[in-house]
Chains A and B, each alone.
Chain A
Amino acid sequence: MTILRNLTALIFLGAPLAGQQGLNPAKLLEKPTDTWPVYHGDYSGRRYSTLTRINSSNVKGLSMAWFYRTGVGGIKATPLQVGGVLYFSAPDHVWAVDARTGREMWHYAWESKGGIHIGNRGVGIYGNWLYFETPDCNLVSLNIQGGKERWRKTNCDLDEFYYGSVAPLIVKNHVIAGVSGDDLDRPGYVSSYDPETGDLQWRWYVVPQKMGEPGSETWPNEEAMKHGGGMTWQVPTYDPELNLLYVTTGNPQPVIAHKNRAGANLFTASVVALNPDNGKLVWYFQTSPHDTHDWDATQVPVLFDGEINGQRRKLLAIAARNGYFFVLDRTNGKNLVTSEYIPANWAKGVDKNGVPIPDPAKMRKLDGALVSPNARGATNWPPPTYSPQTGLFYVGATRSYSVFYIFDTDDNPQGWGGAERGGGSLGSMIAAIDYKTGKVRWSHKWESGGARSGLMSTAGNVVFTGDGSSNLVALNATTGDALWHANVGAPVGNGPITYDMDGIQYVVVAAGDTLWAFAMNR
């Protein structure tokens, strides 16, 4: 039914079907191998490919197919591959590159009015149209054929210190767009736009906007709540059968000094399930109640089906920045597994709902509290991967400590009001977590620290990611042994992707300002 509905919508939009350049949205509901049509490869966020042409036995023979250098800043975007063309972005820029040769087809440059240019996660594509966010708060639609602009819409207010960095996600006839920025005390939200006209369909505020609304009981007053933050800078995942959109939300505001926001501060630092047709909240699970360490929960909510305690379930797993790994029943948000994948010292324990209980002694203090993990987190935005072949959830993890201080002692602090200082990292690794228990089965430690690299796993028993020496690395997905590497000149800055074309399996990754493609020697 869903496929039919989508096809109908597509014809209605007048977009071409498969075989031409446009994206057939039916692809989004499959586990495609010849395309990478959405940020995470498919809606599940698993970043797992069923391709086996490259596998743990032959990956040693992987070699460079081509590279494309943008000459513009760092690429953090996961490219989409549609119709043999790669589409990717950096702040204020979008490129289309031939997926077989790396030849540039077009390059679109946006004239910026400002905004934080920390990174851009990528683009969304539907039919013949591409969507991306700009640092200066615009949602822009381009024609994928030549990169010509169709329309631009304002998604946030630059003067309120919002900015755009996240990749839009297309779900049915909705362009789902999050928002970034935690410098001032503003509310986070996620919006849905009409893919054709760009008109706003709905907007869901992460923090309730009126006392009395669900969640408002976790705030002291409306003023604190309406300014309570919770940015939506991770790309959501989606379950077409349940028709639920899984959005993860950022830290509450003020970020560090927290006197004026007593309570759990819902729905910040949470996983929420929304109805994508109207933006209504269906359930939530808060990973860091009353966060005071800048740990958002904006890591990827990964969807897969699995067995817990002998029962087959629809699951959602997330390795949160606060050091905890959670498995939820994604139909209702009920917690099934909570574990520490990195030793965390900020919680007194876990409550009956599987939620860590913050230890007030480890909240920020005037004279400093030594906390693990630090504000960068046990992990961060780079995507993890889940392999149904091994049943393991792989995440780039760091063990770290820092001292958290309150600087602003006002009863009504604003913005940040404190900072972390000192401390250090005790090492970065890929942690392979058994989702059934939450226990780390193995971890592959990087000798020279980690990079902020995403991960991808394949049915070839391989996990691809980057290390701290600017290598793209292939690990054995079962054992964690390092199998292959190539020095790509800069830390891998995005999540690797793979696709099969003309009988060749490509692995494409970004490092610095360059996109690299690898394939087996022919």
Chain B
Amino acid sequence: MACCAAVFVCSAQEPGPAKAEEVLQKVCGACHTPQSVLTTRRTRAQWQETIDKMVSLGAKATDEEFAAVLNYLSAQYGPNAADAAAATPAAGAGRRGGRGGAGAAQAPRPASSAAGPDDKHVVDAAAADRGRRVWAAECINCHGTYARGSDNGPNLVRSDIVLHDRYGNEIGPFLKKGHPMQSGSASANLTPVQIAELSHFLHQRVYDTLRGSPIFQMHDILTGDAQAGAAYFNGEGGCTACHSVTGDFKGIASKYDPPTLLGKFLNPRAGGRGGRGGRGAPPAPGVKQVTLTVTPPSGQPVTGVPVVFDDFDVSIRDAAGEYHSWTRTPGLKVVKNDPYAAHDDLLTKYTDKNMHDLLAYLVTLK
């Protein structure tokens, strides 16, 4: 996404929030409602990771659109947006509404997500941290570190009371009735502020079970045997047909972290993180492009990057930037030049051991 940097500095081209939300709706809304991911604030790096993940799942957009989405999410749903979005008194009152999200009440809504108040507890991270202290002092022995319960107390992530709670409005009355606490003091004496903080802590635990939670991350993936990986690289994998550890792969492990490196050799088209699909869009840095060589019945072959390529039409943009378009006919010869065909072939052949060994080897090429 290095190319995005160019967009950031061009503030004149930066879409405003309303426009950016349209882009968000267009890019993300193709598969899911954007609101479904806006339960938790994330840093810019975390939002970038989320976007990368979506790209790997097939999200399609231009680099400008991805940059606009990243900027919008970082600004509206970043850690610093917390006070503006969630901690206002108005946002707390009667907040009901879908997974919909943090800050959605302030931001103009995309047309397709319709109106209606939010129906979710938006977590205030600072309040949740304070709630964690109450939790450790009074609750953790029975309900566990993650509120998932123990032999002595039920799982609160699955609790109907917690799920229906908003800022303590269900948990509060429950605790007022009297509930055993670690210190032996009466639960009815918890202050409204403590209850609200516990509520933030518990909802944070619930949201941490959702997809994309920043709490749960990839573990160590460097479990392979580097020596076996070298043998695969030089032998069975056939990697040396195109690559050299003293040439293009020199220092490759310094350029990419292990997950990116793994992503790159599984699917180099993705720039390491998945398939940037936008046809005609510029490739990720360092990614070679599929080209088509089209030969009309009477004429010279023309080679270029495909813009449209289907059963009926083909169009390309050549190296000079010129656009060519044809209707596909039996006499029109179209040859696809795929620089990564060998990687596609390998994808069907790797064992998990091959994959882990190869990664273990590539990370030694610092």
Q: How many A-B residue pairs have CB under 8 A?
A: 220
Cβ–Cβ < 8 Å partners of A223 in chain B:
155
Complex contact A159–B163 (CB within 8 A): yes
Complex contact B56–A421 (CB within 8 A): yes
CB of A133 within 8 Å of the partner chain: no
A373 to B274, CA, bound (A): 15
Within the complex, the shortest CB–CB distance from B59 to chain A, in Å, comes to 12
CB of B237 within 8 Å of the partner chain: no
Query: When the two chains form the complex, which single residue of B119, B149, B310 contacts A158, counting CB atoms closer than 8 Å?
Result: B119
Within the complex, the shortest CB–CB distance from B163 to chain A, in Å, comes to 5
- Given A227-B158, A416-B211, also A469-B309 (CB < 8 A): yes
Query: When the two chains form the complex, which single residue of B146, B221, B274 contacts A367, counting CB atoms closer than 8 Å?
Result: B221
* Tally of A interface residues using CB under 8 Å: 74
Residues facing B in A416-450 (CB within 8 A) are: 416-419, 421-426, 446-449
A419 to B146, CA, bound (A): 20
If over half of B's interface residues share one DSSP class (helix, strand or loop), that class is named, otherwise mixed; here it is loop
Cβ–Cβ < 8 Å partners of B112 in chain A:
72-74, 90-91, 117
A145 to B277, CA, bound (A): 44
Residues facing A in B244-278 (CB within 8 A) are: 259, 262-263, 266-267, 269-270, 272-275, 277
CB of A482 within 8 Å of the partner chain: yes
* Residue in chain A with minimal CB distance to B120: A114
Query: When the two chains form the complex, which single residue of A72, A254, A376, A415 contacts B111, counting CB atoms closer than 8 Å?
Result: A72
Complex contact B217–A407 (CB within 8 A): yes
- Given A116-B36, A422-B266, also A471-B310 (CB < 8 A): yes
A418 to B352, CA, bound (A): 18
- Given A405-B218, A424-B344, also A184-B206 (CB < 8 A): yes
* Residue in chain A with minimal CB distance to B223: A367
Query: When the two chains form the complex, which single residue of B206, B266, B270 contacts A401, counting CB atoms closer than 8 Å?
Result: B266
* Tally of B interface residues using CB under 8 Å: 77
CB of B32 within 8 Å of the partner chain: yes
Complex contact A469–B29 (CB within 8 A): no
Within the complex, the shortest CB–CB distance from B303 to chain A, in Å, comes to 16
Cβ–Cβ < 8 Å partners of B273 in chain A:
421-422
Looking at B8-16, B92-100, B174-182, B191-199, the stretch in contact with chain A turns out to be: B92-100
Among A369, A403, A485, the most chain B Cβ lie within 10 Å of the Cβ of A403
CB of B115 within 8 Å of the partner chain: yes
Cβ–Cβ < 8 Å partners of A407 in chain B:
216-219
A447 to B313, CA, bound (A): 11
Within the complex, the shortest CB–CB distance from B353 to chain A, in Å, comes to 10
Within the complex, the shortest CB–CB distance from B169 to chain A, in Å, comes to 12
CB of A473 within 8 Å of the partner chain: yes
Instruction: Enumerate 22 A-B pairs (CB-CB under 8 Å) in ascending A order.
Output: A71-B111, A73-B112, A74-B112, A112-B115, A114-B98, A114-B119, A117-B33, A158-B119, A184-B206, A227-B158, A366-B219, A368-B352, A401-B266, A403-B266, A412-B148, A414-B209, A415-B209, A415-B211, A422-B270, A423-B56, A448-B279, A485-B312
